[in-house]
């Protein structure tokens, strides 16, 4: 494994806006984080918190317009991904950085065979000939645990079940041995038993291939099981960042605590009522000047409306963006 202290991917000050007829929506507001080689970084938050938009922005996968990346740097192997030309970026996408999309039905092309779609990045990026690509595609399908791989290469996406399609997506993303894999809710559409299979597969692949993974989800249970470090996003900002055990043991941001308490437990006593986070996540029409969680926050004070709390270091890799984090800790 390469030097583990030097991040393979680092993002700083990323800002993405969507320009619509009703004005612009500030979807990502100054997101910074880094990813170490071989690390699994979990990203959690409600829908609309900017998780997917952040990751799509890294590879400039969002259609422009309406999306517009206003500011920020994304360093990957000494290059700034945001200033690369479209051609150079194409060479990275799918080869050095893989992407697994949320919905395996809509992100596979229904009119091409699965084999064709796995071979596409191999032939495009690695310049393999047809026979070599076919052999590699078969290996990949076997790697992700699809039985009878040779025959299945000739099948179309609709002939696969949901779990199998998601494996195909993972196989495509892994085709060129990426350094970084970005997985956007890869198990959300799947059943728990299939999800458990995919999670095992990811753990196994990470050990064998040593790639770094960014795993986007809203399921905290999944994160607890596989992540090394977690980013919690809210209103297009990172509100808390911590190693997974610290985050679950001592969550410091009120939003993280609220998220954790809404999850019903599978053991121990049953709560009489489920905890809820009242209200809705905000739609930001302008850059945040105050804490965007303050309207739903149980420990909000007058100060919270005055400043947008910066992400501050609480020691041991634990960062929190909350003015009352210390107080609420007691």
Q: Of 261 and 308, which has the nearer Cβ to other proteins?
A: 261
Q: Of 271 and 303, which has the nearer Cβ to other proteins?
A: 271
CB of 187 to other proteins, least distance (A): 9
Q: Of 120 and 228, which has the nearer Cβ to other proteins?
A: 228
CB of 144 to other proteins, least distance (A): 13
Q: Of 46 and 103, which has the nearer Cβ to other proteins?
A: 46
CB of 220 to other proteins, least distance (A): 5
Q: Do residues 99 and 59 make contact, with C-beta atoms less than 8 angstroms apart?
A: yes
Q: Of 143 and 277, which has the nearer Cβ to other proteins?
A: 277
Tell me, what DSSP letter sits at residue 107? S
Phi-psi label, residue 173: left if phi above 0, alpha if psi -120 to 50, beta otherwise = alpha
Instruction: Give the span between the Cα atoms of 215 and 226, in whole angstroms.
Output: 9
Instruction: Give the span between the Cα atoms of 43 and 59, in whole angstroms.
Output: 17
**Separation of CA 297 from chain center:** 25
Three-state DSSP at 43 gives strand
CB of 218 to other proteins, least distance (A): 6
Q: Do residues 303 and 323 make contact, with C-beta atoms less than 8 angstroms apart?
A: yes
CB of 120 to other proteins, least distance (A): 25
Interface positions with other proteins (CB under 8 A): 46-47, 147, 161-164, 191-197, 199-200, 218-222, 224-225, 244-245, 248-249, 258-260, 262-267, 270-271, 273-277, 280
Instruction: Give the span between the Cα atoms of 190 and 202, in whole angstroms.
Output: 15
């Amino acid at each position: 494994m390469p030097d583990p202290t030097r991040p393979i991917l680092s993002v700083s000050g990323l800002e993405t806006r969507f320009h619509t007829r009703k004005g612009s929506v500030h979807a990502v507001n100054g997101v910074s984080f880094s990813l170490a080689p071989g690390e699994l970084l979990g990203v959690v938050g409600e829908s609309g918190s900017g998780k997917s938009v952040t990751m799509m922005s890294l590879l400039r996968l969002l259609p422009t317009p309406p999306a517009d990346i206003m500011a920020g740097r994304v360093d990957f192997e000494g290059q700034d991904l945001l200033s690369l030309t479209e051609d150079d970026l194409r060479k990275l996408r799918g080869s050095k950085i893989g992407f697994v999309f949320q919905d395996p039905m809509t992100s596979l092309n229904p009119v091409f065979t699965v084999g064709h779609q796995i071979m596409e990045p191999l032939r495009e990026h690695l310049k393999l000939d047809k026979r070599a690509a076919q052999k590699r595609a078969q290996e990949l399908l076997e790697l992700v645990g699809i039985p009878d791989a040779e025959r299945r290469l000739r099948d179309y996406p609709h002939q696969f079940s949901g779990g199998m399609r998601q494996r195909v997506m993972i196989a495509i993303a892994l085709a060129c041995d990426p350094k970084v894999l970005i997985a956007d809710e890869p198990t959300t559409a799947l059943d728990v038993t299939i999800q458990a299979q995919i999670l095992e597969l990811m753990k196994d692949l990470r050990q064998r291939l040593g790639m770094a993974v960014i795993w986007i989800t809203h399921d905290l249970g999944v994160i607890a099981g596989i992540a090394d470090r977690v980013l919690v996003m809210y209103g297009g900002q990172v509100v808390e960042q911590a190693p997974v055990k610290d985050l679950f043991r001592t969550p410091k941001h009120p939003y993280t605590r609220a998220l954790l308490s809404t999850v019903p437990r599978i053991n121990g006593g049953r709560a009489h009522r489920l905890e809820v986070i009242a209200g809705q996540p905000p739609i930001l029409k302008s850059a945040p000047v105050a804490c965007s969680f303050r309207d739903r926050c149980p420990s909000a004070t007058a100060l919270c409306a005055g400043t947008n709390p910066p992400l501050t270091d609480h020691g041991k890799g634990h960062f929190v963006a909350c003015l009352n984090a210390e107080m609420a800790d007691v």
